[in-house]
Every structure is written in structure tokens, then in C-alpha cells.
């Protein structure tokens, strides 16, 4: 049935660094209530001392070929670092929980969920966002063009994540057939349900990507 947490949902396997993995390793926060934002009765847990006090950490991220030096709260996700601190807002937040794929970026060419990746752990890797795909002269990446040619979006909100995921899918060698594309693109939800057009776009672009 639905494969909501299939590729690229399990970012851990791909990058080794995620917010989930980081927190369960016990580094930053002691006891967070399990339910976000619900006002429970009782006494809140003592605030755990962050390792860096309350100061910011210096973080350097290489985004679309440019180094970005930032002072970040150590808890900042790569997604929020991109959107709120660097100002590349093409990467989208759809759940912040690794369930929708809207925040997919490429790290060293592999697709990764940026909401599940701490910014500090993304240092030293090449991060590609949707803004980094077209050539400087404006020529679109074959996958971008294929999405236009096949009307592979409606609202366009999932689209940056779909396009980066699709490039990852082709590069992984998982775009062999329609069925394989469907399976390996099922971690990217599209509520407008452009799915058949997304499959057509991947089929179109994969040939051109090989030729390029």
C-alpha cells in the first residue's frame, strides 16, 4: 500500500547524519515531551544545558557551490538554515518530520531530507538545492525542463523536492521502468497528485541526463 516513509525517507541510511540520530545519541536535549506543542499538565523537564551554552555555533555550509558562513543555534535543521539563514527558500517545509519529501536536497549528489538533517552535520558536503540546478545562462536542467513539458506539478510546492529526488533516483539507477520510478519516487508526496506526470517527466529526463 502507501509507502510514505520509503526513499528518500530514511535519510540516515544515505547520509549517516540526521537530527533524529543526533538526538537519540543523547547529545543535546534531555527529555522532550513526545507530543510537540501540546500543553501538558505537570512540571516541565529541566532545561538541559546545551553544550555550547546559548551561544551560536559557527557553521559553514557549501550550498550550490558557495560557502556560507553562519552563526547557528546547534539545533537548526539544514532546512531551516537554508530557508531562514541563507535565504534560499526554494527548499520547502511540508512536515518537518521526514514524511513528505518536500525538503529534499542533494548532498554530495545523494538525496537527503534536509528537515531530518542538522545543519552542523551537513558541513563539508556539497549541498545542491533547486536554485543550483539551472546553468548560469538560465538553461534548465533536463529534469526541470521535463517537469514543465509534462505538467508534473500543479501548486508546485512539492516540486523542488520532487525534482531533486528525481535526479537522485536517476543517478541511483532506479529509473529503469515506470514501476521502478513510482516505487522510488514514493517518498515524495504530491497532494495535487501529479504522479503520472512526474513519472513521465523522469522518463523524459533520464535519457537526456545520460546524454549530457
Subset of residues 158 to 187 that bind ligand FES, contact rule: CB under 6 A: 158-159
CB atoms within 10 A of CB 171: 15
Rg, the chain, Cα only: 18
Rounded to 10 degrees, the C-alpha dihedral 144/7/98/16 comes to -110
The set of cell numbers assigned to 12 is: 540516515
Answer with the entry of another protein, ligand FES, none that 87 interacts with (C-beta below 5 to 8 A by kind).
another protein
The set of cell numbers assigned to 148 is: 514543465
Dihedral sign, CA of 111, 114, 117, 123?
positive
Q: What is the spatial distance between Cα 123 and Cα 155, in angstroms, rounded to a whole number?
A: 32
- Is 196 near ligand FES (CB under 6 A)? no
- Is 142 near ligand FES (CB under 6 A)? no
Find the binding residues for another protein in span 132-191 (CB under 8 A). Answer: 133-134, 140, 144-145, 147-160, 163, 181-183, 185-191
Find the binding residues for another protein in span 68-87 (CB under 8 A). Answer: 73, 75-76, 80, 83-84, 87
Closer to ligand FES by CB, 56 or 191: give it: 191
DSSP assigned state of 83: I
Answer with the entry of ligand FES, another protein, none that 103 interacts with (C-beta below 5 to 8 A by kind).
ligand FES
Q: What is the spatial distance between Cα 155 and Cα 95, in angstroms, rounded to a whole number?
A: 17
The set of cell numbers assigned to 94 is: 511540508
Closer to ligand FES by CB, 41 or 118: give it: 118
Closer to another protein by CB, 25 or 40: give it: 40
Q: What is the spatial distance between Cα 103 and Cα 158, in angstroms, rounded to a whole number?
A: 8
The single residue among 95, 108, 151, 176 that binds ligand FES, judged by CB under 6 A, is 95
Find the binding residues for ligand FES in span 42-71 (CB under 6 A). Answer: none
Return residues touching ligand FES (CB under 6 A): 93-96, 98-103, 113, 115, 153-159, 190-192, 194
Amino acid at each position: 500500500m502507501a509507502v510514505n516513509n520509503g526513499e528518500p525517507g530514511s535519510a540516515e541510511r544515505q547520509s549517516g547524519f540526521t537530527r533524529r540520530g543526533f538526538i537519540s545519541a543523547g547529545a543535546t536535549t534531555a527529555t522532550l515531551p513526545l507530543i510537540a506543542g501540546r500543553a501538558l499538565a505537570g512540571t516541565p523537564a529541566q532545561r538541559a544545558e546545551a553544550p555550547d551554552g546559548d551561544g551560536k555555533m559557527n557553521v559553514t555550509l557549501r550550498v550550490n557551490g558557495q560557502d556560507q558562513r553562519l552563526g547557528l543555534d546547534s539545533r537548526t535543521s539544514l532546512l531551516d538554515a537554508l530557508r531562514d539563514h541563507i535565504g534560499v527558500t526554494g527548499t520547502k517545509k511540508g512536515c518537518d518530520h521526514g514524511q513528505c519529501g518536500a525538503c529534499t536536497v542533494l548532498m554530495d549528489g545523494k538525496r537527503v531530507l534536509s528537515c531530518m538533517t542538522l545543519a552542523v552535520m551537513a558541513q563539508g558536503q556539497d549541498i545542491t538545492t533547486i536554485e543550483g540546478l539551472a546553468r548560469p545562462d538560465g538553461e534548465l536542467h533536463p529534469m526541470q525542463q521535463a517537469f514543465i513539458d509534462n505538467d508534473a506539478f500543479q501548486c508546485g510546492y512539492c516540486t523542488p523536492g520532487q525534482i531533486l529526488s528525481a535526479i537522485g533516483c536517476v543517478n541511483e539507477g532506479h529509473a529503469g521502468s515506470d514501476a521502478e520510478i513510482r516505487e522510488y519516487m514514493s517518498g515524495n508526496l504530491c497532494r495535487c497528485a501529479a504522479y503520472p506526470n512526474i513519472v513521465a517527466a523522469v522518463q523524459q529526463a533520464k535519457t537526456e541526463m545520460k546524454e549530457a
